Structure 1
Amino acid sequence: MPALDAEIRDLMRFAAERSMLPRFRNLAAGDVEMKGVDDPVTIVDREVEAFLTEALTKLAPGVAVVGEEAVHADKSALDHLSGQCWIIDPLDGTANFAEGKEPFGIIVALADAGQAVAGWIYDPLKDRFCHARRGEGAFVNGERIAARTTGQEPPVTAVSRIFLTPQESAMVDAKLAAHYTLVDIPRCAAEQYPRLALGENDISSFKRTLAWDHAAGVLWLNEAGGKAARLDGSAYRVDQHEAPGLVGASSPAIWDEFVARVMA
C-alpha cells in the first residue's frame, strides 16, 4: 500500500478508536444535537473532524480542508471546493450512530479543480479500508478489486424516499418498481458505495450529492469499473454539490438501463 494511503488509513483508524468506537451505543446526554430536520450531529463528528483537519493540514500545509461541520458553521468554506482541498466526512451515517445502529464510517477525499483525485473510506467496525486514486484502480485493504454485480434478476436497487417529493416517489413506483428489486439504503455512503462494487447492490440513486458524502465513493466506484455519474451522464464534480441527481451502479450497462428508464 502506498505511503499516503497507509498514513490516511492510520489516521482514520486512530480517530475511530479514540473517539468513535468508545461512544458507539454509549453517547451521553447532550452528546447529540440537531442541525436541522433529520440531521443530527454528535460530539464524535466534531472531535473526529477537528483531529483530521489538524492532521491533514500538517500532512499537506497550504491545502485547504473542507469538513462537513466546518461548512455547517461557515458556508464560505465551500469556496475551497473549486481548488485543491481535502474533504472530510468525520462520521458518515451520523443518524445511524446516534441511534446505536450500523453502518457508519469516515470518508476523506483529496480534490483539485473540482475533481476528486483520491479517496479513502473507512468502516471501523469491519476494519475495511477502501481507497482509490484517479487512474490507478480501486482497492479494499490494499487489494485491487473489480466491481461485480449481484447477478440477480431483477437488479437490486437501493433508493431512498427520505428526500423525495410525493411526485418523485410516485415516479419510483411507476417507472422502477416493476423492473428492480427495491431495497432500503443504509443511510451511509461509506457503506453504500462498497455495496455497489462488492456484489450486494446493483444501483443506488442519490438526490443529495454533498461533496463529503460522495467525492471519495464516486471515484472509488468508477476506478473499480462500476459507474457513478449525473443523470445526464456528466461527471460528478465536488464543486457542484448542490446539483441534484447522482446514480451509482455496479456496471456501466446497468447504469445505462436504469437511467434510460428514469429519463423516459
Structure 2
Amino acid sequence: MSRALDTAVAALMREAAEKAILPHYQKLASHEINQKAADDLVTIADTESEALLAEGLARILPEAAIVGEEASHADAQVMTHLSDSLCWIIDPVDGTNNFAAGKPPFGIIIALAEKGETVAGWIYDPLSGRLCSAHRGQGAWIDGERFTARASGQPKPVAAISLVFIEAARRAALLEHIAPHYTLVDVPRCAAEQYPRIGLGQNDVSIFERTLAWDHAAGVLFLNESGGKAARPDGSAFRVDRHLEPGLIGAASPALFDDLAERMAMLSPSVSK
C-alpha cells in the first residue's frame, strides 16, 4: 500500500507544481497576492494548488477527510477533521512569503493522519524535484533512496531558531541563554526546506514556536523516521489535532534534541512556555 500511495501522491504533487505553482513563479501580479494576517500571505498559486491537490487526494483515498491550509483559513471548522479516522493535510505552497517575493525556498507538503497521529508524509521541492517521504514505522526516503539523518559535525551545533511568532520575553531568553551554545543560521521561512536541512546535516537543531499541522506533520514524521528526533520540548509527541499548541524542537539526533530540550527546560517558567 505504501509504495502505491507514494507513487500516486508524488505524481499529484508534481502535477500541482507544474500546473498551479511554477507557472506563477516570479510572474505574480499584485492582485494575485493577498495578506491573510500579519506576515502571512496567500497567492493565486496557493489556492490553485490546494484545489488541485484536494481533488486528487480525494480520488486516492476517498474515505479520508481533507484539511487544507487555505480551506482552514476560510473556515476554522475544517480543522476539526484533524482527529478523524483518516485525514489528508495539505500545505499547497509552503514558504508563501518566499514564493511571493520570487525567491526560493518553497515547497508542497502533504501528510496523512490517523486519529490525530501522522502515518505518512511527503515534502516536495518544485524547483529541484527533491521528494522527501516517510511512513510510520517504515523509515524515511529521499528521491526513492532510504535516508538516515546526520548531524553537521560542527564543534558548536548549527541552530536555526524561528523567532517570528515568539513573544518578546521568550525571544530575549532564547537569545540570551540558548543561542550562545550554538552557531546560529538564518531560518528559510519554509518548513519544507527546514526539515530536510536538519536531516541532511546542514542544521543540527531547530526551534519552532508555531506548529500548524500543514507545516509540521510531514516534517516531524520524516525526521523521526530518519533517526533524528522532532517532538514537543518536554519530549511528548507532536499530534496534528493539537497543532495550535506552541513549541516544537527538531534535531538531527536524539542526543542533540535532549541537549537543547534540557537547556530550554532551565529557562524560567514565565518564558519557557
TM over 0.5: yes
Q: How many residues in Structure 1 have an aligned counterpart in Structure 2?
A: 264
Selected match of 2:197 from 188, 195, 198 = 195
Distance 1:168 1:153 in 2: 26
Distance 2:62 2:167 in 1: 43
Distance 2:50 2:243 in 1: 19
Cα distance per residue 1:128-164 (max 9 Å; x no partner):
0000000000000000010000000100000122112
Distance 2:207 2:49 in 1: 28
Q: Per-residue deviation at 1:177?
A: 2.3
Selected match of 2:244 from 234, 242, 245 = 242
- 2:132 is aligned to 130
Give 3-state SS (helix, strand or coil) of 2:263's partner. Answer: helix
Cα distance per residue 1:58-77 (max 9 Å; x no partner):
11112100000000011001
Distance 1:27 1:228 in 2: 35
Give 3-state SS (helix, strand or coil) of 1:26's partner. Answer: coil
Distance 2:167 2:80 in 1: 29
Selected match of 2:164 from 154, 162, 165 = 162
Distance 2:179 2:80 in 1: 39
- 2:18 is aligned to 17
- 2:36 is aligned to 35
Q: Per-residue deviation at 1:182?
A: 1.0
- 1:66 is aligned to 67
Gaps of 5+ in 2: 267-273
Q: Per-residue deviation at 1:168?
A: 1.2
- The 5-angstrom pairing of residues 1-264 of structure 1 reads 2-83=3-84, 84-264=86-266
Is the CA contact 2:8–2:60 (under 8 Å) kept in the aligned structure 1?
no
| TM-score relative to the length of structure 1 | 0.98
Aligned-partner residue type, residue 10 of structure 1: A
Give 3-state SS (helix, strand or coil) of 2:181's partner. Answer: coil
Identical counterparts, % of pairs? 58
Aligned-partner residue type, residue 70 of structure 1: A
Distance 2:34 2:134 in 1: 33
Distance 2:179 2:61 in 1: 47
Aligned-partner residue type, residue 34 of structure 1: Q
Q: Per-residue deviation at 1:183?
A: 1.1
Q: Per-residue deviation at 1:175?
A: 1.0
Give 3-state SS (helix, strand or coil) of 1:177's partner. Answer: helix
| TM-score relative to the length of structure 2 | 0.95
Runs of 4+ in 1 over 6 A off after TM superposition: none
Gaps of 5+ in 1: none
Is the CA contact 2:88–2:111 (under 8 Å) kept in the aligned structure 1?
yes
Distance 1:182 1:256 in 2: 18
Distance 2:69 2:22 in 1: 20
Distance 2:201 2:152 in 1: 4
Cα distance per residue 1:171-227 (max 9 Å; x no partner):
122211221011111000000000010010000100000000000000010000000
